[in-house]
């Protein structure tokens, strides 16, 4: 029972710390491509758009140096997000409706260190330390055919 409470407390601390030090974002995993413009405005950053054969990647670089990449399918849905830089993005915003699932999965972990959550409808990988964070999250069922998870970075 103590371990369960400890993991729950750790998940709560992680969620609060993520929110406290996060860069605001508006789009979320599973959202529409139109939400990328809101992220661009919220991050007050520079945006680059790269169109490849199977998806469009919107890369937003915040003034802090944190880069948020949003991968959009031909159907116009955000199927993956990735981040890197000195600050974590606001995972509640980035993961959207998947945030609570993520927090619950993290609470069940018994290990410390990099996070690797693999669920039937959600994959999240996150690691780093102060001023050097990186990670990605994607919806396996929404990834366009022919796109490898290694492309999401």
Question: Residues 77-121: pLDDT tens digits?
Answer: 999 999 999 988 888 878 888 999 999 999 988 888 899 999 999
Question: Residues 122-132: pLDDT tens digits?
Answer: 999 999 988 99
* CA–CA distances in Å: residue 20 to residues 6, 32, 89, 93, 94: 21, 26, 10, 13, 15
Determine contact, residues 134/84, Cβ cutoff 8 Å. Answer: yes
* Euclidean distance between CA atoms 13 and 107, whole angstroms: 10
Q: What is the pTM of this model?
A: 0.78
User: Which segments of 73-131 are extended strands (E)?
Assistant: 78-85, 115-119, 122-129
């Amino acid at each position: 029972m103590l371990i369960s409470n400890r993991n729950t407390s750790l998940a709560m601390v992680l969620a609060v710390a993520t929110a406290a030090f996060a860069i605001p974002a508006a789009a979320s995993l599973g959202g529409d491509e139109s939400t990328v413009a809101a992220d661009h405005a919220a991050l007050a950053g520079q945006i680059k758009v790269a169109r490849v054969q199977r998806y469009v990647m919107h890369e937003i670089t915040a003034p802090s140096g944190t880069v948020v990449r949003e991968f959009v399918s031909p159907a116009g849905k955000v199927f993956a997000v990735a981040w890197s830089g000195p600050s974590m993005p606001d995972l509640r915003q980035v993961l959207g409706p998947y945030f609570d699932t993520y927090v619950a999965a993290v609470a069940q972990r018994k290990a410390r260190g990099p996070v690797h959550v693999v669920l039937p409808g959600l994959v999240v990988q996150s690691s780093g330390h102060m001023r050097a964070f990186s990670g990605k999250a994607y919806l396996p069922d929404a990834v366009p055919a022919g796109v490898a998870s290694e492309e999401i970075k």
